[in-house]
Amino acid sequence: MDPARRLAAIEVILAAPAESLPDDVLDALVSCVGAAQKTIQRRAIDALAVIAKSGDARIVDRLRRALGGDRRMRWGAAYALGQIGAGAFAMDVADALCEALSDDDGDIRWAAANLIVRLGRDYPEEIRARLIVLGADSDHNARKMALYCIRDLGFAGADLLAVLQRAVHDRDVHVRLAALAVLTRLTDASDLAAKLALECLETDSDPGVRRAAAVALGNFHINSPRAASALRNAAADNTDTSLARAARGALERLEKR
């Protein structure tokens, strides 16, 4: 069936979601969650979520089986189970969501990250372990997105600091920024965390990373002459007004402590 006809058929189902679908029609609808066209995939997911919430238990079962399909099908099924929620959204979607963190499509990466954060609130230990591993993944998108998930879930610990120690020196500037986003949120920041942020402020070649490092230093409970000196130097930087502003704000926060 051509894409226009598939989309039209899905819209017919959405117009009367309470009607029970024959098995063959339901199977065809589930197959659409792996469609290459985003519009078809999203509308199929919308239809399945509505039908599942009306009480059709076949939906969740078929979507769980679809988690064994190809990459696009795995992602679509995981996302659909997330939209259904309640008992449908569980750890069996974790593999597909973690895989999606390295997707070339930024929309998919961020949608997967949002779902992983949701999953991490219900299964913190399991998701934390997966994210720590992904923080050192060979794919730069996976590393970056794992770090943002870690930030949003508020994870901490020595093993995380080891990941951050590598990440602040990552060749990808976006991974370095993600690492500093985590450091900025740490509530139990250690001397090592402060040292990592200070090194970024002093030596990183990217102005955005240096600004993020200044913000992170201002959030730490530290009393370091070296950090204060680095922040004062940054605050006096006439070539980067954003960095100077971030450094002044950091100094003000430190002086209040």
Question: Residue 182: its pLDDT value, please?
Answer: 95
* Alpha helical stretches, state H, 16-92: 23-31, 38-53, 58-66, 71-84
Question: Residue 151: its pLDDT value, please?
Answer: 97
Sorted by sequence, the CB contacts under 8 Å of residue 109 that are 6+ apart come out as 100, 101, 102, 103, 141, 145
Tally of residues, the chain? 257
Question: Residue 254: its pLDDT value, please?
Answer: 83
Write out pLDDT tens, residues 129-155: 999 999 999 999 999 999 999 999 999
Packing angle of the helix pair 191-203, 207-219 (nearest 10 deg): 150
What the chain holds in terms of domains, given with CATH numbers, is 1-89 (1.25.10), 94-155 (1.25.10), 157-257 (1.25.10.10)
Question: Residue 224: its pLDDT value, please?
Answer: 83
d(CA 116, CA 146) in angstroms, rounded, equals 9
Sorted by sequence, the CB contacts under 8 Å of residue 246 that are 6+ apart come out as 211, 214, 215, 218, 234
Packing angle of the helix pair 173-185, 140-153 (nearest 10 deg): 10
186: pLDDT strictly greater than 90: no
Beta strands (DSSP E) in 142-199 are none
Provide Rg for the chain, Cα atoms: 23
Write out pLDDT tens, residues 193-240: 889 999 999 999 999 999 999 999 988 877 788 999 999 999 998 899
256: pLDDT strictly greater than 80: no
Q: How many CB atoms lie within 10 A of CB 57?
A: 8
Report which DSSP code applies to 93.
G
Amino acid present at 71:
R
Q: In this structure, is the dihedral angle defined by the CA atoms of residues 170, 176, 180 and 186, taken in order, positive or negative?
A: negative
19: pLDDT strictly greater than 90: no
Question: Residue 257: its pLDDT value, please?
Answer: 66
Band (191; pLDDT cuts 50, 70, 90): confident
Write out pLDDT tens, residues 28-75: 999 999 999 999 999 999 999 999 988 888 999 999 999 999 999 999
Write out pLDDT tens, residues 156-171: 999 999 999 999 999 9
Report which DSSP code applies to 193.
H
- Of 154, 175, 174, nearest to 164 by C-alpha is 175
The answer to whether residues 40 and 7 touch, using CB atoms and an 8 Å cutoff, is yes
Question: Residue 188: its pLDDT value, please?
Answer: 62
Question: Residue 190: its pLDDT value, please?
Answer: 72
| The overall pTM is greater than 0.85 | yes
112: pLDDT strictly greater than 80: yes
